[in-house]
A and B are shown apart, each in its own frame.
Chain A
Amino acid sequence: MRGAGKNPEEVIRGRGITVGFGDRLILDNLDIDVYRGEILGVVGASGTGKSVLLRTILGLQPMRAGEVEVLGVPYSDAAPAARSAVDRRLGVLFQHGALFSSLTVLQNVQVPMREHLRLSPRLMDELARLKIELVGLAPDAADKMPSELSGGMIKRAGLARALALDPDIVFLDEPTSGLDPIGAADFDALIETLRDTLGLTVFMVTHDLDSLYTACDRIAVLGDRRVLIEGTMGDMMAFNHPWVQQYFRGTRARRLGA
């Protein structure tokens, strides 16, 4: 399942995405493809619009032009019912967690289950606790309120909620920022296991070179309001662009490669 097969199926297809605020364009005529079963890492300097791209694909950010297809559905202008059917197969971890502050972690994980499925309360509790454990939180975190969690715990709780329905695609916005290196490595390993067992497709915005090296099958670099280059780590190394060169071959990167 790893990498792009012979006829890779596109689960996300964005064409000509153009987004701006006021008179400033953030993304200009950007094309992006994500294939089933891959982990795509999206990198780029701070403020190049990675989060904006993620929000645009999810339909949270209006586009000036372009179209987005998610799981074969024209998501950007789908009817509410069709959208809801797709929503059920997506999981999102926002950059700042975006947990519902008035619900406990357990209830947060159960929100998508209650919305989309009918499960017995017992099964729902068990599944939610399972997800909470799966992402590496201690069992007693389940009954805490989001305001009582540390930054890293919020990330994990957010991932547990994103995984609540065993989605086809998860969107992760900087999942490992704010985690200790061991926790971050566990997180990457977890994502890979889930991808291998569940056939998950992962769209991951990250600054973490470790994640890019170990977990990602493909990397897309954002810059100059578009995708500068997409490809494997090898392609990145060979690509001749000052920012990309410095990013992947700078001191921090060399230390990793050595």
Chain B
Amino acid sequence: MRWVDLVKVEARIAPLKAARPGDGRGSQSARVSVTETGGQLSRSSTGGVARLVAGGVWTIATADRLEPSIDEAVNTLRGTVEIDLGSIVQIDTAGAWLITRLERELSARGVSVSLVSASENARRLLEALAPAERDVPPPPETIGVVQELLEAVGRTMVRSWEDLKSGLGILGGVVRGLSIGLRHPRRMRFTSIIFHMEQTGLRAVPIIALMSFLIGAIIAQQSAYQLAYFGADIFVVDLVGILVLRELGVLLTAIMVAGRSGSAFTAEIGSMKMREEIDALSVIGLDPLHVLILPRLIALILVLPLLTFIADVCALAGGGMMSWAYLGLPPDTFITRLRDAVALNTLFVGLIKAPFMALIIGIVAAAEGLRVAGSAESLGTHTTSSVVKSIFMVIVVDGIFAMYFAAVRY
């Protein structure tokens, strides 16, 4: 679907959605003026026989004003009724339906109805509608709020369990794919891996560098103020160094990558799923996991540590610049102090986490992508939940690593 069409679709869908909770009416502004001469249903009676005379325009444009008079006639008329269609000047399926409905509902109440002087057109239309369904099926039963709430909780639990299963399934497939790849390196899709490294890695460098630089600067500036109360402003260097290298560098990079590439990844796989492209791959004899998911995952795992390193360096640069500006700490002093304060293992604590986070982002994105069903709405839902879940999981894993490193005193 092209963009032009999409805009049109959006514009047409919007009033529908907006109107749903209310009375089912569309927007006022888009309405088109209807034919001035409306339709009428007038009533007279001669000798025990009630006559209904339908006249004027009976089309979908006048249907809303005709409907009440039909309902009224159904509710009040008894005995024998003759419906005269002679003075209808224009009729379409909506008008014909109203007449059919009038006739049927009157008959259902034991009134004997006859239609007279219908034009050729009206007769043909009425005949076309004659076999139409008699009653509209009842709407599905609504359940109470409490029950709905309970049901939602249950559904969420079941779905979380399924998330876990499908995530593990993909992980297993990826491990198998990797082992095959290691034994037969020619089966690895290197072009694809390089392409995705460019997409998720190289193209993310500017935004990640800028973001980290600002974060480093903000931390330095805020802590400079607070530490100055104790005359301990030199500790800004320790604070920025440890915080950025151990936690923030990798965490913020992972969050940015989840938002930027995880969502793209879900949307790509999801829309391929929607259009049966995934099925086409399997039929051709290609494993979608191998063709689509593995290269993206490998690219992500290779690229996230590199991005994290860039983020670390940029954040330190931002912190150093702020220390210079606010504390008058020249860059060479900052670097010397940093070397004393921060051991190399601090950097590694951050970098070690990166591949695991990449794995989580990739697996969550793939699992969500493969779960997209036929509709555009489902694509949107799963893309959103891919980003939300992977950011959440990244933070959880970061917490687990923090406990682990504390326990092993690294």
How large, as a class, is the contact surface on chain B?
Answer: 35 or more
Asked if B21 is at the interface of the complex by the 8 Å CB criterion, the answer is no
Are A114 and B97 closer than 8 Å at their CB atoms?
A: no
Are A198 and B92 closer than 8 Å at their CB atoms?
A: yes
Assuming the contacts A146-B374, A198-B93, asked whether A117 and B61 have C-beta atoms less than 8 A apart, the reply is yes
Are A116 and B4 closer than 8 Å at their CB atoms?
A: no
Assuming the contacts A129-B133, A193-B128, asked whether A121 and B23 have C-beta atoms less than 8 A apart, the reply is yes
Give CA–CA (A107, B375) in the complex, Å: 14
Contact of B93 (CB < 8 Å), options: A122, A134, A146, A147: A134
A129 to chain B, nearest CB (A): 6
Are B133 and A114 closer than 8 Å at their CB atoms?
A: no
Contacts of A100 in B (CB 8 A): 9, 13, 376
Of B26-34, B284-292, B335-343, the stretch lying at the interface with chain A is B26-34
Contacts of B93 in A (CB 8 A): 127, 130-131, 134, 163, 166, 198
Are A114 and B26 closer than 8 Å at their CB atoms?
A: yes
Are B64 and A119 closer than 8 Å at their CB atoms?
A: yes
Which B residues from 21 to 50 make CB contacts under 8 A with A? Answer: 23-27, 30-32
Asked if A65 is at the interface of the complex by the 8 Å CB criterion, the answer is no
Are B60 and A117 closer than 8 Å at their CB atoms?
A: yes
Give CA–CA (A124, B128) in the complex, Å: 19
Contact of A114 (CB < 8 Å), options: B8, B16, B125, B373: B16
Contacts of A125 in B (CB 8 A): 136
Asked if A212 is at the interface of the complex by the 8 Å CB criterion, the answer is no
Which B residues from 200 to 240 make CB contacts under 8 A with A? Answer: none
Assuming the contacts A115-B16, A127-B97, A198-B93, asked whether A148 and B374 have C-beta atoms less than 8 A apart, the reply is yes
Could you give, for residues 159-192 of chain A, a 1 whenever the CB lies within 8 Å of some chain B CB and a 0 otherwise? 0000101100000000000000000000000000
Instruction: Using CB atoms, name the residue of chain A closest to B128.
Output: A193
Give CA–CA (A134, B128) in the complex, Å: 8
Are A114 and B24 closer than 8 Å at their CB atoms?
A: yes
Which B residues from 103 to 136 make CB contacts under 8 A with A? Answer: 121, 124-125, 128-129, 131-133, 136
Instruction: Using CB atoms, name the residue of chain B closest to A199.
Output: B121
Contacts of B165 in A (CB 8 A): none
Contacts of A148 in B (CB 8 A): 374
Contact of B30 (CB < 8 Å), options: A102, A116, A120, A146: A116
Give CA–CA (A133, B129) in the complex, Å: 9
Give CA–CA (A133, B377) in the complex, Å: 27
Contacts of B32 in A (CB 8 A): 84-85, 88, 116
Give CA–CA (A125, B274) in the complex, Å: 29
Contact of A147 (CB < 8 Å), options: B59, B132, B374: B374
Contacts of B94 in A (CB 8 A): 123, 127, 166
Asked if A25 is at the interface of the complex by the 8 Å CB criterion, the answer is no
Interface of A is mostly: helix
Asked if A240 is at the interface of the complex by the 8 Å CB criterion, the answer is no
Are B136 and A145 closer than 8 Å at their CB atoms?
A: no
**Residue from A120, A124, A147 whose CB has the most chain B CB atoms within 10 Å:** A120
Contacts of B27 in A (CB 8 A): 115
Which A residues from 94 to 141 make CB contacts under 8 A with B? Answer: 98, 100-103, 107, 110-127, 129-131, 133-134, 139
B41 to chain A, nearest CB (A): 15
Contacts of A235 in B (CB 8 A): none
Asked if A196 is at the interface of the complex by the 8 Å CB criterion, the answer is yes
Asked if B328 is at the interface of the complex by the 8 Å CB criterion, the answer is no
Instruction: Using CB atoms, name the residue of chain B closest to A200.
Output: B92
Give CA–CA (A121, B19) in the complex, Å: 11
Are B378 and A102 closer than 8 Å at their CB atoms?
A: yes
Give CA–CA (A124, B19) in the complex, Å: 14
Are B60 and A139 closer than 8 Å at their CB atoms?
A: no
Are B31 and A114 closer than 8 Å at their CB atoms?
A: no
Are A111 and B25 closer than 8 Å at their CB atoms?
A: no
Asked if A197 is at the interface of the complex by the 8 Å CB criterion, the answer is yes
Asked if A60 is at the interface of the complex by the 8 Å CB criterion, the answer is yes
Instruction: Using CB atoms, name the residue of chain A closest to B94.
Output: A127
Give CA–CA (A185, B98) in the complex, Å: 29
Are B61 and A197 closer than 8 Å at their CB atoms?
A: no
Instruction: Using CB atoms, name the residue of chain A closest to B93.
Output: A166
B148 to chain A, nearest CB (A): 20
Are A126 and B101 closer than 8 Å at their CB atoms?
A: yes
Contacts of B274 in A (CB 8 A): 101
30 A-B pairs (CB sep. < 8 Å): A61-B4, A88-B32, A100-B9, A101-B374, A101-B375, A102-B376, A111-B12, A111-B16, A114-B15, A115-B16, A115-B30, A118-B31, A120-B24, A120-B64, A121-B24, A125-B136, A126-B97, A126-B101, A127-B94, A130-B97, A130-B132, A133-B133, A134-B93, A139-B133, A147-B374, A166-B60, A166-B94, A193-B128, A197-B124, A198-B125
Contacts beyond the supplied A197-B124, A197-B125: 10 A-B pairs with Cβ under 8 Å: A61-B4, A123-B63, A123-B64, A123-B98, A124-B24, A126-B101, A130-B97, A133-B131, A134-B93, A163-B93
What is the interface of chain B, defined by CB distance below 8 A to chain A?
1, 4-5, 8-9, 12-13, 15-16, 19, 23-27, 30-32, 59-61, 63-64, 67, 92-94, 97-98, 101, 121, 124-125, 128-129, 131-133, 136-137, 274, 373-378
- Pairs of residues from A and B, 9 with the lowest C-beta to C-beta distance, nearest first: A147-B374, A102-B377, A101-B375, A166-B92, A114-B26, A121-B24, A102-B375, A101-B376, A197-B124
